[in-house]
């Protein structure tokens, strides 16, 4: 099929956002091209194939809601889906709506410059293709650029090196191997028990212990599936206006943790720990805003760790003490702490004993040397901005996105940045994104962008772009809301502290999914308050 060189919209990325955008835009008659650096659809779920990779939002809620037929026909095998099952689902979606034919795979967009005369984006790919587009949509995800720390000697290692976010497609067989893993965030916490069960020996290098609670994943039951599917549309509607874009199996308690007795608190924490999932943080309404309230939950979880991990020193090392629970992303695990009771698992504190270098045979820390067949980097991502800033994006007057965002991302609603007309960031910094069920936030942003493009077309508007003042106010509001919480107290990828030299500020919008959706609805109802439009000049007027 001949590929169009001038289109209404170019979309970068064929994950959940890019696919839904393509489906909606095509349906509305917009000519569209999608570029995807991978060989297939799936985004995060294409790349993160590490052992144990699993979603931490329930499957019935981590799925598209836009088509009743799709949500009724699909069955999930487990309560929390594993990566292969999510990838199967995404492939099913691509097939059902025949999306792949409009996606150019194995192709990265490396440059996008806005031309102020033609009001078009000129987009260049790493295969040398040039496409012009009225609208440029970055649907590149929030955690799509892997962080491979610059540890001296990495190139000297004679064994295999893996990053959890760029995992090979073929099965990696660790049996009989001595394996080292660096990083104990969500990816490390999910993969450590699985690798430990396979490898001869596993050494875990921990910089910061992360808070994790049991997922209590179980096979999906017909009964649970039926409960959801019976009134799916109504449940989805509730999700859209909920604080996190998802519904909790155990109801949040809307009082302070400090206003109840210790027995009541323990009962609430016990109940949520037993139910599994993220509900622990919703036990009381001030766990993420009040240090003392937070500490009641933190202390209770530390006691659980001490109860599971048999060696007291290891238990102590695994117990977070330097930041409030929930302020780095809370992890969901399956037998994480139990893995440290295995004879073949060792935990090394790399704050006390920093990694000196990687060697031909393994790794060196002071006088200690470790021999490995494989080293796994579970060291996370240059999150939220990394992928956007790696593309050479230039807006008006040659302003680069790198320059504009040098002190941190600046957006209006997490959707657009002043100086970059008709450029959109799906679940961009300044929107709820990673602080929500991503599926709810993706659908909301995609629908908002498509509605906006239709509004522009119907009203002969050529460009849309935020006013500087609206953007300034939004950037301030995002920080203001974050500063009312305990989130800025942790070094986290939300804050950009995991990447040396990255500006440090809280990047997602923590005001809640429902509240954010209402703000967007009001903005639109108010004639796109805070946005500037440039009217299309008709050919006749231009000729005068």
Binding residues for ligand NA7, per CB under 6 A? 143, 147, 149, 164, 182-188, 207-208, 329, 350, 378-381, 493, 498
Query: For ligand NA7, which is the closer residue by CB, 285 or 485?
Result: 485
- Token match 């209770």: residue? 300
Q: Hey, which residues does 458 pair with through a beta bridge?
A: none
Nearer to ligand NA7 by C-beta: 22 or 331? Answer: 331
CB of 66 to ligand NA7, least distance (A): 23
Residue nearer to ligand NA7 on the CB measure, 181 or 450: 181
Nearer CB in complex with ligand NA7: 102/349:
349
> Which C-beta is closer to ligand NA7: that of 41 or that of 189?
189
- Which of residues 324 and 419 has its CB atom nearest to ligand NA7 in the complex? 324
Residue of 91, 103, 9 whose CA lies nearest to 423? 9
Task: Please work out, in degrees rounded to the nearest 5, the angle formed at the alpha carbon of residue 143 by the alpha carbons of 320 and 332.
Answer: 40
Instruction: Give the bridge partners for 232, in sequence order.
Output: none
Eight-class DSSP state of 378 = -
Between CA 413 and CA 396 the distance in angstroms is 20
Instruction: Give dist(CA 472, CA 275) in Å, integer.
Output: 42
Q: What is the DSSP letter of 381?
A: B
- What tokens does 47 get? 């790349």
CB of 309 to ligand NA7, least distance (A): 18
**Please, what's the largest Cα pairwise distance for the chain?**
84
**Closer Cβ to ligand NA7, 161 or 350, answer by number:** 350
Minimum CB separation from ligand NA7 for residue 30, in Å? 31
In the bound complex, what is the minimum distance in angstroms from residue 135's beta carbon to ligand NA7?
A: 28
Q: Are 130 and 3 in contact (CB under 8 A)?
A: no
Residue tagged 């002190």 (tokens): 407
Whichever of 206 and 425 has its CB closer to ligand NA7, that residue is 206
CB of 354 to ligand NA7, least distance (A): 9
Q: Which residue is nearest to ligand NA7 (CB)?
A: 185
DSSP symbols for 9-71: EEEE--SHHHHHHHHHHHHTT--EEEE-SSSSS-THHHH---TT-B-SS-TTTSS--S-HHHH
Shortest Cβ distance from residue 521 to ligand NA7 (Å)?
27
Smallest gap from Cβ 413 to ligand NA7, in A, equals 22
Cβ of residue 294: shortest distance to ligand NA7, in angstroms? 18
Cα separation of 105 and 100, whole Å?
9
* Sequence-distant (≥ 6) Cβ neighbours of residue 374 within 8 angstroms: 159, 160, 161, 162, 172, 174, 177, 179, 180
């Amino acid at each position: 099929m001949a590929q169009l060189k001038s289109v209404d919209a170019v979309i970068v990325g064929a994950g959940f956002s890019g696919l839904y955008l393509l489906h909606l835009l095509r349906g509305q008659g917009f000519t569209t091209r999608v570029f995807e650096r991978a060989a297939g659809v799936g985004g995060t779920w294409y790349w993160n194939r590490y052992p144990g990779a699993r979603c931490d939002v329930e499957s019935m809620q981590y799925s598209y809601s836009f088509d009743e037929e799709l949500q009724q026909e699909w069955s999930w095998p487990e309560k929390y889906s594993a990566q292969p099952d999510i990838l199967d689902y995404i492939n099913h979606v691509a097939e059902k709506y025949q999306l792949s034919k409009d996606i150019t795979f194995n192709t990265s967009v490396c440059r996008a410059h806005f031309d102020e005369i033609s009001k078009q984006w000129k987009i260049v790919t790493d295969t040398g293709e040039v496409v012009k587009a009225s609208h440029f949509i970055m649907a590149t995800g929030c955690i799509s650029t892997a962080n491979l720390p610059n540890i001296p000697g990495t190139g000297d290692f004679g064994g295999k090196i893996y990053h959890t976010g760029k995992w090979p497609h073929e099965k990696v067989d660790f049996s009989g191997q001595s394996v080292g893993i660096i990083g104990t965030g969500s990816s490390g916490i999910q993969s450590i028990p699985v690798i430990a069960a396979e490898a001869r020996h596993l050494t875990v290098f921990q910089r910061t212990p992360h808070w994790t609670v049991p997922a209590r994943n179980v096979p999906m039951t017909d009964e649970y599936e039926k409960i959801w599917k019976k009134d799916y549309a109504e449940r989805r509607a509730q999700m859209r206006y909920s604080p996190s874009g998802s519904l909790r199996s155990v109801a949040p308690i809307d009082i302070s943790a400090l206003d109840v007795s210790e027995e009541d608190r323990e009962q609430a924490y016990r109940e949520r720990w037993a139910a599994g999932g993220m509900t622990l943080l919703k036990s009381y309404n001030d766990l993420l805003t009040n240090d003392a309230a937070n500490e009641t939950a933190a202390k209770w979880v530390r006691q659980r760790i001490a109860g599971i991990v048999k060696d007291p020193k290891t238990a102590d090392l695994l117990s977070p003490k330097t930041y409030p629970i929930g302020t780095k992303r809370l992890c969901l695990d399956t037998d994480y702490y139990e893995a440290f009771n295995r004879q073949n698992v060792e935990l090394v504190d790399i704050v006390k004993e920093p990694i000196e270098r990687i060697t031909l045979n393994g790794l060196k820390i002071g006088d200690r040397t470790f021999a490995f067949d494989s080293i796994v980097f579970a060291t996370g991502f240059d999150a939220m901005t990394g992928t956007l800033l790696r593309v050479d994006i230039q807006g008006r007057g040659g302003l680069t996105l790198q320059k504009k965002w040098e002190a941190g991302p600046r957006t209006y609603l997490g959707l657009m940045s002043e100086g970059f007309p008709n450029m959109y960031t799906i679940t961009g910094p300044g929107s709820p994104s990673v602080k929500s069920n991503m599926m709810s936030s993706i659908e909301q942003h995609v629908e908002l962008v498509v509605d906006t493009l239709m509004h522009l077309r119907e009203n002969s508007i050529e460009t849309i772009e935020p006013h500087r003042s609206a953007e300034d106010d939004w950037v301030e509001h995002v920080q203001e809301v974050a500063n009312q919480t305990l989130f800025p107290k942790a070094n986290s990828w939300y804050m950009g502290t995991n990447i040396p030299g990255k500006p440090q500020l809280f990047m997602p919008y923590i005001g809640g999914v429902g509240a954010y959706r209402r703000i967007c609805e009001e903005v639109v109802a108010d004639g796109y308050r805070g946005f500037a439009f440039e009217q299309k000049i008709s050919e006749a007027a231009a000729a005068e």
